A and B are shown apart, each in its own frame.
Chain A
Amino acid sequence: MSGDSSFLAQPGRRAAIPIMVLLLLGFVAPLLAVVGFSFMPPRTFGLWHEPSLENYERIFSDNTYVSLLWSLGLASLTVVLLALICYPVAYGLVRVFGRWSTALTLLFTIPLIVSENIRLYGWVLFFIKGGVLPGTLKALFGVEMGDFLFTPAAVLFGMVYVYLPFMLFPMTLGIAMVPNQMREAARDLGASRWQVFREVELPLSTPGLMIGSLLTFVLAVGAIAEAKVLGGQRIIPITHDIEIAFTYAQNWPLGAALAVLLMLVVSVLVLTVLKRFDLDQILGKR
C-alpha cells in the first residue's frame, strides 16, 4: 500500500465503515463512558468534571477490594473444581458411553433452558432447613444435617452447578478432536493406556480445557446470583458491589471504578494465560 493514499481509498475499508460505526457506538463508546466515569468525583452524574483518582483510592482504603478477592477466589476454585469434574465426564461422553452420550448431553443441556435464578431457588428449596435433602435425611435416618445453605460452600456449589456446561462442552470438543490414529500410533509404539493418555490425549486435548477454563472463569468472576440466592448475601462479590453502587448508592463513579478494576484484573489474567499457552501451537496449526 502506498503511503499517500487516504484511509478510505481501499474499497475494503469503505465497506467496513458500517460495522465499525456499530462497534464503536455499541462497544467502545460504553466502555469509554465507564472508564470516564471512574475518574469523576464520587456521586456525580456527568462526564465533564475535573478528573480525580478518588474512587480508586476509596476502593483500596475501604475494604471494598475484599469483594474483588472473593470474586476472584470463588471463580478460580470454580474453574479448578469444574476441570476436575468435567474431564472424566467429557472423556466418558466422547470415548466410553457410546450411544448413551447423546442422552447424557441432553441431560446437561436441558437445565440451561430454565432461568438461572429459578434453578438456584430450586436448590434453596433442596438445601433449606426441612427442605428436600435435610428433611428426607431426618425423616428416613434421623440424621440432622448441618447448615449448608447460606455458606460460601453453597455459593461455590451454585457456581460449579451453573457453569458446568460451559466447561464440559469445550472439553468434550477438545477430547473429540484428538485423532484416533494418534492414540493408536502411541499404543503401537509401546505405550500403555495410561501413557497414551498422559503423552498424547491429555496434551492434545488441552485446548478444550483452556477454552473451557477461560470461559468459566470470566463467567464466574461476573457471577452475582449465586451469592445472593445460595449465599444469602453472607459473601459480597465485586459484582454485587458494582450493582449497589450504580443502583441503591447512586454512586456511579465508584461503580465504574470497580468495574474497570474488575475488567483490568480479568484481562490481565486471561491474556497471561493465552500468552503462556499458545493454542495454535498445541493444535499444531500455524
Chain B
Amino acid sequence: MSKPILQLKNVRKAFGTLAAVDDVNLSIGEGEFFTIVGPSGSGKTTLIRMLAGMEKPTSGDILLHDKRINDTPANERPTCMVFQSLALFPHRTVGQNIEFALKIRNVDPAVREKRARELMQQLHLPADYYSKNVTLCSGGERQRVALARALAFDPQILFFDEPLSAIDYKLRKTLEKELKDIHRETGKTFVYITHSLEEAMVMSDRIGVMRRGKLIQVGSPNEIYSTPRSRFVSEFMGDVNVIPVEANGAGSVRSQSLGASFKVLANSVEAKAQCLVVRPEFLRFLDTPADAQNSLRGILYNEYALGSRIQYQVRVGEKVFLVEKLRQQPFKGKLDDEVLIGWDPENAILVADE
C-alpha cells in the first residue's frame, strides 16, 4: 500500500447508547480506491460522514496526512463528497453547479467556465448542457454533473455515499466503469460506500466490510471473495453453500445435520464453532464418489439460467446446495434425478460461525 493519506484510530460514534460506528481502525493509501461495504444500518454512512466532516467522532482520531482533523469542519477539509441524493442545486444550471466550489473561492468567471467545460468533456456531458437547468437532466447525466462538481473542487479525497444505488442496472455498470477510469485519470483517493458487493468488486483496490458498526474484514476484492474470515462476509459476498461443522481430528470436520465428514485443509481447523463454505462454482457434479475428495448424494431440485452460467439447486436431506456450471459444459441431469455433487478441500474454506 502507498503512503497513508487517511487514518482512523479507534473511531467510535455513538448516538445515545447505540454505537453506530464502533472502534474502527483503518488506513487508506494515497490514490487508493477504497470501498466500504455493508448492509443498511451497518454504520457505513455514519463512518463516511465523519470522514467528510459532517459528524464528529465520539472518540478516537481521524488523521489526514498525519494531522488530526476530528474538529475540522467540512468546508475546511480538502475532501469532497458525492451524495446518495446527489444534492445538486436545483436553482442552478449544470455549469453553475459544477463551478460552485470555484465561485466560493472567488475564481475569475472565465477561468471557472473553462474548468467546468473541461470537466464536462471529461465526463462525457454535451457542451450545450452548460446552461441547461440541472433538473432537466437524466439520472445518468445528473450523476456526471455531481461528480464534475466534486472534481472541480479538486479534493485530495473524494467520498461517495452510494451514488449509484438508484440507477438502473445497465447504466450503473457503465457508470461504475467510468468512475474507475476517472479514478485512474485523476489519481485521486476515492472512498466509496455501497451495500452492493458487485459494485465494490468491480471498482475497488481494497474493500472493507462493515457489520454492526465494526469493520470486520479489510482486503483486496480477491481476498474478500476467496478467503472470507467469517460466515457473514462469505454470505454477504454472494451465493454460497454454508455448512455448520465441528472439528473432527486433523484435516477433517463433521456436519451433524448432514451426518457426514469432510476433508479440509489441515491448517484451517479450529476448536471454535466454524462453518464450511463452498462457493457454487466450486461444487461440481460427479459420476462416481471417487471423482472428488468430498461428495454428497442429493436430488436435483431446480435449475436457474444465469446467462453464461446455470445454477442448480440440489437437495441433500433438509439442506439445499447451490451448484453452478458454465452453460457450455455438458450435463445431462434432469429435475428429480438423483445426483452426486462434490468438491476438493482446496476449494472450500473454514470460517468463523459469526
Q: How far is the CB of B127 from chain A (nearest CB, A)?
A: 22
Q: How far is the CB of B156 from chain A (nearest CB, A)?
A: 13
| B85:A188 contact, CB within 8 angstroms | no
| A188:B81 contact, CB within 8 angstroms | yes
- Binary per-residue interface labels of chain A (180-195) against chain B in the complex, 1 for a CB within 8 Å, 0 otherwise: 0110111111111001
Residue A282 CB within 8 A of the other chain? yes
Among residues of A, the one whose C-beta sits closest to the C-beta of B87 is A185
| A284:B74 contact, CB within 8 angstroms | no
A residues near B150, Cβ cutoff 8 Å: 189
Residue B100 CB within 8 A of the other chain? yes
Residue A204 CB within 8 A of the other chain? yes
| B104:A195 contact, CB within 8 angstroms | yes
Residue A200 CB within 8 A of the other chain? yes
Residue A285 CB within 8 A of the other chain? yes
Complex CA gap A205/B79 in Å reads 28
| B54:A184 contact, CB within 8 angstroms | yes
Residue A144 CB within 8 A of the other chain? no
- Binary per-residue interface labels of chain B (131-163) against chain A in the complex, 1 for a CB within 8 Å, 0 otherwise: 001111000000000000110010000000000
Residue B75 CB within 8 A of the other chain? yes
Given A190-B75, A284-B91: A185 and B83 interface contact (C-beta under 8 Å): yes
Among residues of A, the one whose C-beta sits closest to the C-beta of B96 is A199
| B91:A188 contact, CB within 8 angstroms | no
Among residues of A, the one whose C-beta sits closest to the C-beta of B90 is A284
| B149:A189 contact, CB within 8 angstroms | yes
B residues near A203, Cβ cutoff 8 Å: 91
Top 8 nearest A-B pairs by Cβ distance? Answer: A284-B90, A185-B87, A181-B87, A284-B135, A189-B101, A188-B74, A190-B104, A187-B75
B residues near A185, Cβ cutoff 8 Å: 81, 83, 87, 89
A residues near B54, Cβ cutoff 8 Å: 184, 187-188
| B90:A283 contact, CB within 8 angstroms | yes
Among residues of A, the one whose C-beta sits closest to the C-beta of B101 is A189
Residue B238 CB within 8 A of the other chain? no
| B153:A190 contact, CB within 8 angstroms | yes
A and B contact pairs by CB, cutoff 8 A, 13 listed: A181-B83, A181-B84, A182-B89, A184-B87, A187-B75, A188-B54, A188-B74, A188-B75, A189-B100, A199-B104, A281-B133, A286-B133, A286-B135
B residues near A199, Cβ cutoff 8 Å: 89, 100, 103-104
| A186:B100 contact, CB within 8 angstroms | yes
Contacting residues of chain A (145-201) with chain B, CB-CB under 8 angstroms: 179, 181-182, 184-192, 195, 199-200
Complex CA gap A258/B136 in Å reads 45
| B101:A190 contact, CB within 8 angstroms | yes
Per a CB cutoff under 8 Å, which of B52, B133, B136 touches A188? Answer: B52
Number of interface residues of A (CB under 8 A): 23
Q: How far is the CB of B27 from chain A (nearest CB, A)?
A: 23
Q: How far is the CB of B81 from chain A (nearest CB, A)?
A: 5
Among residues of A, the one whose C-beta sits closest to the C-beta of B80 is A188
Complex CA gap A249/B312 in Å reads 95
- Binary per-residue interface labels of chain B (90-131) against chain A in the complex, 1 for a CB within 8 Å, 0 otherwise: 110000000011011100000000000000000000000000
Instruction: Other than A181-B83, A181-B87, A189-B104, give 11 A-B pairs with Cβ distance below 8 A.
Output: A184-B81, A185-B83, A187-B73, A188-B54, A188-B74, A189-B100, A189-B101, A189-B153, A190-B101, A195-B104, A204-B90
B residues near A184, Cβ cutoff 8 Å: 54, 74, 81, 83, 87
Among residues of A, the one whose C-beta sits closest to the C-beta of B152 is A189
Among residues of B, the one whose C-beta sits closest to the C-beta of A196 is B75
- Binary per-residue interface labels of chain A (257-286) against chain B in the complex, 1 for a CB within 8 Å, 0 otherwise: 000000000000000000000000111111
Q: How far is the CB of B86 from chain A (nearest CB, A)?
A: 8
Among residues of A, the one whose C-beta sits closest to the C-beta of B77 is A188
B residues near A190, Cβ cutoff 8 Å: 75, 101, 104-105, 153
Q: How far is the CB of A127 from chain B (nearest CB, A)?
A: 43
Complex CA gap A62/B64 in Å reads 77
Complex CA gap A181/B74 in Å reads 13
Residue B53 CB within 8 A of the other chain? yes
| A282:B75 contact, CB within 8 angstroms | no
Complex CA gap A184/B45 in Å reads 14
Among residues of B, the one whose C-beta sits closest to the C-beta of A283 is B90
Q: How far is the CB of B54 from chain A (nearest CB, A)?
A: 6
Complex CA gap A191/B135 in Å reads 22
Per a CB cutoff under 8 Å, which of B52, B91, B105, B133 touches A204? Answer: B91
Q: How far is the CB of A237 from chain B (nearest CB, A)?
A: 37
Complex CA gap A282/B92 in Å reads 9
B residues near A285, Cβ cutoff 8 Å: 135
